[in-house]
């Protein structure tokens, strides 16, 4: 989950399997809720789960855009099946 969350927060959207996207959503939403508050304790909790570079980006760049939202910071869009193994694919992205 950490590497998927790192990729999502650094890039803004990622393409992954539908199951992984559904597992990632609550993990990232909790982290973004902590980033919105931005207290020292919240920053330390984020740093324990992600790298300090991404924590800074989440608190300083991503969280101010989410101030007006009461939740639902991510969107999952289903894009069909993968050709090789027929896994259901999805795009998970941050809502602006």
Could you report the per-residue pLDDT of 23-55, keeping only the tens digit for each? 999 999 999 999 999 899 999 999 999 998 999
DSSP state of 82: -
Q: What is the pLDDT of residue 68?
A: 87
Q: What is the pLDDT of residue 43?
A: 93
CATH number at residue 69: 3.90.1030.10
Could you report the per-residue pLDDT of 60-84, keeping only the tens digit for each? 999 999 988 888 999 999 999 999 9
Q: Which residue is it, tokens 């950490």?
A: 2
Which 3 state secondary structure label does DSSP give 33?
Answer: helix
Q: Which residue is it, tokens 């259901």?
A: 88
Confidence of residue 96 (pLDDT cuts 50, 70, 90): confident
For residue 38, give Cα distances in angstroms to 30, 41, 67, 76: 13, 8, 12, 26
**Domain count along the chain:** 1
**What's the predicted TM-score (pTM) here?**
0.89
Confidence of residue 19 (pLDDT cuts 50, 70, 90): very high
What angle in degrees, to the nearest 10, is found between the helix axes of 2-11 and 18-37?
Answer: 70
Domain that holds residue 68: 2-94
């Amino acid at each position: 989950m950490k590497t998927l969350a790192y990729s999502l927060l650094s890039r803004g959207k990622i393409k992954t399997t539908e199951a992984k996207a559904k597992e990632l959503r609550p993990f990232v939403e909790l982290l973004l809720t902590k980033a919105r508050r931005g207290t020292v304790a919240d920053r330390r909790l984020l740093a324990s789960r992600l790298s300090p570079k991404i924590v800074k980006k989440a608190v300083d760049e991503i969280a101010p855009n989410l101030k007006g939202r009461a939740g639902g910071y991510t969107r999952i869009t289903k894009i069909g099946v993968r050709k090789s193994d027929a896994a259901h694919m999805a795009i998970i992205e941050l809502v602006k």
